[in-house]
């Protein structure tokens, strides 16, 4: 008897990162207010007005809504989401050495952290730099929904900008710390923020340390470190 030909086995097709099913973090039934207030209380910040708190909650809600369609975040629950979106911005705002109207770049902004909450809390001119189309759409929607047309969203990479394009540059996990320090120092005229989890501070090449603060994310306890250094080298720089 002649055997039937075996059916070909389909080869699994790898999905592009933005095509994978988004992590379905859910908004808590009671909303984000209590978690945002707990996160704020974890840092030595001036009193944050009700309008700003409302905007921070709205930002969290919008992130959850968009995450149902676009893979924006790996947060698994509301506590992780609030820490991921807000905690680093709160830490920077509590110790930020600069004044009003500084020009900030948030490079590889992704879901808008720390740039959006920084702009909500501080009188800075924020530009969110992000090359991925769907994330750019989210960032533009967020800026509009929060009534902050002054937050600029640029669909681009940082290397498309000339040197000295901003006063302060910040980025979270877009590049390894040594590479980010070099790129941030190219972009900024004043200072560069390094947001570190497990990585140590890279060689600063004679740059002065302005801020070096260790902190915990208030809701999940994750350990973090924020280091702000002068963009340009100084012979009298503080060593780490």
Q: Which two tokens stand for residue 178?
A: 């040594």
* In-domain check, residue 11: no
How much is the pLDDT for 21?
46
* In-domain check, residue 58: no
What does DSSP say about strands 207-216 and 188-196: parallel, antiparallel, or unpaired? unpaired
Cis, bond preceding 114 (omega within 30 deg of 0): yes
DSSP helix, strand, coil percent of the chain (3-state; round to 5): 35, 20, 45
Q: What is the 3-state secondary structure (H, E, C) of 64-128?
A: HHHHCCCCCCCCCCHHHHHHHHHHHHHHHHHHCCCCCCCEEEEECCCCCCCHHHHHHHCCCEEEE
Cα separations (Å) of 175 from 75, 127, 170, 195?
20, 18, 11, 11
How much is the pLDDT for 7?
37
* In-domain check, residue 5: no
Q: How far is CA 45 from the centre of its chain?
A: 19
* In-domain check, residue 145: yes
Distance CA(225)–CA(75), nearest Å, equals 20
How much is the pLDDT for 169?
98
* In-domain check, residue 123: yes
In what helix (H) or strand (E) does residue 230 lie, and over which residues does it extend? strand 223-233
How much is the pLDDT for 4?
44
* In-domain check, residue 7: no
**What residues form DSSP beta bridges with 152?**
127
Distance CA(117)–CA(114), nearest Å, equals 6
The domain total for the chain is: 1
How much is the pLDDT for 158?
98
How many CB atoms within 10 Å of residue 46? 8
Give me the domain span that covers residue 132. Answer: 87-233
* In-domain check, residue 175: yes
Distance CA(59)–CA(171), nearest Å, equals 19
- The enclosing domain of 165 has a CATH number of 3.40.50.150
Distance CA(128)–CA(174), nearest Å, equals 13
- Is-contact 110 72, C-beta < 8 A? yes
* In-domain check, residue 41: no
| One pLDDT digit (tens) per residue for the chain, 240 residues | 444 444 333 333 333 344 444 448 999 999 999 999 999 999 999 999 999 999 999 999 999 999 999 999 989 999 999 999 999 999 999 999 877 889 999 999 999 999 999 999 998 999 999 999 999 999 999 999 999 999 999 999 999 999 999 999 999 989 999 999 999 999 999 999 999 998 899 999 999 999 999 999 999 999 999 999 999 987 665 554
């Amino acid at each position: 008897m002649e055997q039937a030909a075996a059916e070909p086995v389909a080869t699994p097709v790898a999905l592009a990162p933005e095509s994978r099913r988004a992590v379905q973090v859910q908004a808590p039934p009671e909303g984000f207010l209590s978690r945002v207030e707990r996160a704020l209380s974890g840092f030595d910040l001036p009193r944050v007005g009700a309008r700003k708190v409302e905007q921070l909650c709205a930002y969290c809600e919008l992130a959850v809504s968009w995450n149902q369609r676009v893979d924006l975040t790996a947060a698994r629950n509301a506590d992780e989401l609030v820490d991921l979106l807000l905690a680093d911005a709160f830490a920077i705002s509590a110790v930020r050495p600069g004044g009003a109207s500084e020009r900030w770049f948030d490079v590889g902004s992704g879901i808008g952290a720390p740039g959006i909450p920084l702009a909500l809390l501080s009188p800075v001119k924020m530009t969110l730099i992000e090359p991925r189309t769907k994330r750019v759409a989210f960032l533009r929607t967020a800026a509009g929904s929060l009534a902050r047309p002054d937050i600029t969203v640029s669909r681009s990479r940082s290397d498309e900008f000339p040197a000295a394009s901003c006063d302060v540059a910040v980025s979270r996990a877009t590049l390894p710390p040594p590479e980010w320090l070099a790129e941030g120092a190219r972009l900024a005229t004043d200072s560069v923020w390094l947001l570190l989890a497990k990585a140590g501070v890279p060689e600063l090449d004679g740059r002065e340390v302005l801020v070096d603060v260790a902190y915990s994310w208030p809701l999940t306890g994750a350990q973090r470190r924020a280091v702000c250094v002068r963009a340009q080298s100084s012979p009298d720089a503080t060593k780490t």
